[in-house]
Structure 1
Amino acid sequence: MKNLITVIITSFLLFTACEGPQGPPGRDGGLIVSPAFEIELDFTAGNNYEYFEPYGFNTYPADVTLVYILWEIVDGQEVWRLLPQTVQFEDGSLMYNFDFTRTDVRFFLDGTVNFNTLDSSWTRNQVFRVVVVPADNVGKQDFSDINVVMESYGITNFKKR
């Protein structure tokens, strides 16, 4: 009888579900895979105002790449904006934009302004952060705030390239 009670109690404890706080979203049956890196680059006539960066890691066909630009620093705080971002000038517009494949991300300038006449503050030493997220989560959260994205995907730093 003791053995039967022990088996029942042990079975009950093993098969009782525990519930705690919900973790960050991930792939069904898999780990969260959100590689991230930071890159500083120049847009010049020599590189046709674009830059290709290979990921250097594997991505899944449905993954989505997000790119943020360091827009300004206010009182020592970095302000990041999700691309694309557009700036209006008297003689036209400038857009920081990107596109991506499964193997790389391309950063580029677009718009109607003459890129050759832009002050170097718009084209040199531009800092971007890249995050690759599972497509399952696209549309389920606000990706405009880089801090929310970092928290959701456990990103504590961005490897500098």
Structure 2
Amino acid sequence: MKKFLPLLLLLVGSLFIFSCKDDDDVYVQVDVDYPAVYDLRNVNFSYNNDLGWHYGQNFNNPMLDQDYVVIFRQTGTSGNAPVWQQIPRTLYLDQGELDYDFDFSKNDFMIYAGGTYDLSTTPQYLNNQTFRVVLVPAVYGKNATLEDLKKLSYEEIIAKYNIDESKVGTL
């Protein structure tokens, strides 16, 4: 009986240990409409003294704070397929350097064009531009950073995050 009582206490104690629930991990399911791809067609940059040449757009729905935006500029076509170049990007032209860059928040993004010369002398780089905006939730990044995404081509991002290109939307 003396040996049975410690075994019984050990058995009952182990039931309590393994039946405890760890409430420290709280997961909140948030429905988001991305990863997604949006086209911006016929973009015309505006100019003001504070922002320089810029184009801004709001998202249809706010993103989560930790999510990413990657933007590509269409530089031409190959056959019938568009050729995408990720920005930020510097173009080296006869007139000087032209830079495309962007920033974003959970509610909107802004694309900038700047350079080492008067950009108004090359309106073909400021008017009727086409951009593709890719929204990527951080959870899909699996510890990736924006720096990791900057190394990927458009095709690599689409493949990595299983984005359905047949559902390209517009903003």
TM-score, normalised via structure 2 length: 0.66
Instruction: Report the CA distance between 1:56 and its aligned residue.
Output: 1.0
Unaligned runs of 5+ in 1: 1-26
Instruction: Name the aligned partner's letter for residue 157 of structure 2.
Output: V
Post-superposition Cα deviations, 1:28-78, rounded to whole Å, max 9, x if no partner, equal 977783132111201244794211100011311100110011111123331
Q: Post-superposition, which runs of at least 4 consecutive aligned residues in structure 1 deviate over 6 A?
A: 27-32
Task: Determine what percentage of the aligned residue pairs are the same residue.
Answer: 19
2:12 is matched with: none
Instruction: Report the CA distance between 1:143 and its aligned residue.
Output: 5.5
RMSD, aligned CA: 2.7
Aligned mate of 1:115, from 113, 119, 140 = 119
TM-score, normalised via structure 1 length: 0.70
Instruction: Report the CA distance between 1:96 and its aligned residue.
Output: 1.2
Unaligned runs of 5+ in 2: 1-26
Separation of aligned partners in 2, 1:74 and 1:36: 20
Separation of aligned partners in 2, 1:142 and 1:96: 14
1:143-158 pair list within 5 angstroms: 144-151=152-159, 152-156=161-165, 157-158=167-168
Of 145-154 and 59-68, more deviation after overlay is shown by 145-154
Aligned length: 134
1:37 is matched with: 38
Structure 2 residue 64 is the aligned partner of structure 1 residue 51? no
Separation of aligned partners in 2, 1:108 and 1:121: 15
Instruction: Report the CA distance between 1:149 and its aligned residue.
Output: 1.9
